[in-house]
Amino acid sequence: MKNRFILALLCLTISFAASAQAIEITPSYGYQFGTRIDYVFSSVRAEPSGQWGIAGGIEFRPGYVAKLSYVSMGTEFTGRDVDFTNNRNVRISDLQTDWFLLGIQKYLKDGKVKPFVGSGLGIAVVTPKNINRNEFPNLNLSSNTYFAFNFEAGVNIMFTDAIGLNLQGNLYFPVNYGGFYVGTGGAGVTTGSTQIVGGFSGGLVFRIDTD
């Protein structure tokens, strides 16, 4: 599913490119606050961590940008289970989450200071790595792909017509993401839910006018 969805995102981006008035490229680095899922006297948590990403935008009409984004979040996956870990909070594994999103960004004002809001739709690929075999010798976790969407708001402060500073807050929602249940019987998936991963990021924005 991941490869087909990424191909669809690229095809949509190419279709917007035909009417491009400007192209924007924004590499960024930031921080995400993590997320926690509770289940029957226990919980699992993706810990807060750094994140990095890159976005390519095509201004297809004045003030409206079609935006293709990739964001990478590498963090630690921890859990507290009454039966299996004696209610201790322990490291379960490393956790890599890759977000691929296509969205629309709207500038609220033109000029050197350009506030914006935006949203997008795509997928989140969640991959556990380096399982803690000392605590969980028989635990097997696999990579999963979830539909996802996001909201963002921020500002681009342009130093020149071609380069500026990007500052923004982000909310990411993996749909039906239940995490991984860790208990006496092994591993399974908890009841599905939509979690919220919030954070902020900053970077440079490079703008190329095509008119």
How buried is 126 (Cβ within 10 angstroms: 0-12 exposed, 13-18 middle, 19+ buried)? buried
At 83 the pLDDT is: 59
Strand partners, 199: 32, 170
- Contact in structure between 186 and 138 (CB atoms under 8 Å): yes
Closest by Cα among 155, 65, 152 to 113: 155
Ramachandran angles phi, psi of 135, nearest 5°? -90, -30
- Classify domain 2-209 at the CATH class level: mainly beta
Quote helix, strand, coil % in the chain, to nearest 5. 10, 65, 30
Closest by Cα among 96, 94, 152 to 120: 152
Confidence of residue 115 (pLDDT cuts 50, 70, 90): very high
**Collapsing DSSP states into helix, strand and coil, what is residue 31?**
strand
177-201 per-position pLDDT tens digit: 555 444 434 444 444 456 788 999 9
List all residues 6 or more positions away from 134 whose beta carbon is below 8 Å from its beta carbon.
none
At 184 the pLDDT is: 38
At 187 the pLDDT is: 45
Mean pLDDT for 106-132 is 93
Q: Which two tokens stand for residue 1?
A: 């599913």
Mean pLDDT for 118-123 is 94
| Helical residues (DSSP H) of the chain, grouped into ranges | 2-17
At 183 the pLDDT is: 43
Task: Tell me what percent of the residues of the chain surpass a pLDDT of 70.
Answer: 75
Please determine, for residue 4, whether its predicted confidence score (pLDDT) is greater than 80. no
d(CA 133, CA 139): 8
Write down the domain spans for the chain. Answer: 2-209
Neighbours of 33 (CB within 10 A): 13
At 85 the pLDDT is: 62
Closest by Cα among 159, 183, 193, 154 to 55: 154
Q: State the maximum Cα–Cα separation within the chain, in Å, rounded to a whole number.
A: 64
38-87 per-position pLDDT tens digit: 665 567 778 899 999 999 999 988 999 999 999 999 999 887 765 566 66
d(CA 95, CA 92): 9
Return the amino acid letter for 174.
Answer: P
| Helical residues (DSSP H) of 121-174, grouped into ranges | none
Please determine, for residue 141, whether its predicted confidence score (pLDDT) is greater than 50. yes
Say whether pTM exceeds 0.85: no
Q: In whole angstroms, what separates CA 193 from the centre of its chain?
A: 16
At 16 the pLDDT is: 54
Please determine, for residue 1, whether its predicted confidence score (pLDDT) is greater than 80. no
